[in-house]
Amino acid sequence: MFTITALVILVVMALALVRAFKGPTLYDRILAVNNFGTKTVLLVAVMGFLYGRPEFLDIAIVYVLINFISVIGILRFFEYAGKKNAEEEA
C-alpha cells in the first residue's frame, strides 16, 4: 500500500523535474521546484511509515517549512532582478 503511494510520488517528482527543465519562464521553474519540495515531504512521510520509523515525520515537518521559506526567498531575490531589467529598458 505504501509502496504504491511512494512510486506514484516518485513519478510526480519526475514530472515536476521535467517541467523544471522545460519551463520557458523563470517562474515555471520556481513553481516546479516548489512542487518537487512538497512531494519530497510526502515521500519522506510515506517512507517513514513504510519502514516503520516514526522519526522521519520530524524531517518532513522541517522540510515543509524550509521549502516554503526558500520559495519566498527566491521570489524576493528575483523580484528586484525583474525591476532592474525594466529600468534598463525604460
Partner 1 sequence: MEILFDIVSWICLVAGSFFCLTGGIGLLRFPEFFSRIHAASITDTLGAGLIMIGLMFQAGWGLVLAKLILILLFSLIAGTTASHAMAKAALKSGLQPQVVGTMDSETGGAPSKS
| Under rule CB under 8 A, residue 3 binds partner 1 | no
**Interface pick for partner 1 out of 21, 54, 87, 88 (rule CB under 8 A):** 54
Cell numbers linked to 65? 517549512
Is the Cβ–Cβ distance between 13 and 43 less than 8 Å? yes
Helix (H) or strand (E) holding 18: helix 2-22
Is the Cβ–Cβ distance between 45 and 85 less than 8 Å? no
Positions that interact with partner 1 (CB under 8 A): 1-2, 4-5, 8-9, 11-12, 15-16, 18-19, 22-25, 27-28, 30-32, 34-35, 38-39, 41-42, 45-46, 49, 54, 57-58, 60-61, 64-65, 67-68, 71-72, 75, 78-79, 82-83, 86
